[in-house]
Amino acid sequence: MAGLGSDGVAARSVHGLRPERLGSAVVAALAMSLLTACAGEPVESGTSPHRPVSSDDAKQSITDVVDRTAAIVDGDWKVLSGPRLGLCKGSDGSGDAEDPGGVTWVYVEQRPGADDPRDDLRKVESFWQSLGITTKRYRSGGDDPDLGVSGRGGPVTSIDFLASTEGGYSIDGESACADGDLDELATSSPSPTP
């Protein structure tokens, strides 16, 4: 218990901690600062410390997730678009010091729909959750609504599975934000064939 001061109030530090707890608080704060200072790895010149994935890995990852999703649902899937380059959220591609930079890859596949897509939605949702993707189901309005499931996180920035009895199925995926310069990658990457 803390001792009483001359005014009869328990002795406290300027931060409101009792003297016997002050030492513990200092040790805990020091340990946390040392742990966080040592947690990161050295950052190579020209890379962003907050983007641990390379452009090639991001491209491969989104292609794999979309292709594996299509295989789970089965059917005659066709590549509608991509994989194609895009800018990370918040980047304007200027390369200025204020521009966070980075690229994403977008990949879209499509196939004819089914009369009752609910089982396919369950399969997709379960698969994505197994990859660490947070999912959310949605539906359009009307008498014959389109159904879908969207996802974020895990190996993707975003992914969407739309099941329309009229328009068919589509899977739209955007990779995690990766290191890379859009202009350099666009000129060095071959154009995708749809």
- Scored b (16 or more CB within 10 A) or e, 153-171 reads ebbbbbbbbbbbbeeebbb
More confident residue, 24 or 90: 90
- What pLDDT score was predicted for residue 20? 47
Residue 134 has pLDDT above 80, yes or no: yes
Answer whether 0.75 is exceeded by the pTM. Answer: no
Q: What is the mean pLDDT of the chain?
A: 76
59, burial (CB in 10 Å: exposed 0-12, middle 13-18, buried 19+): buried
The amino acid at residue 72 is I
- What pLDDT score was predicted for residue 22? 33
Q: Which of 43-52, 126-135, 143-152 has the lowest mean pLDDT?
A: 43-52
Q: How many CB atoms lie within 10 A of CB 151?
A: 25
Identify the band that residue 133 occupies on the pLDDT scale cut at 50, 70 and 90.
very high
Identify the band that residue 42 occupies on the pLDDT scale cut at 50, 70 and 90.
very low
More confident residue, 133 or 86: 133
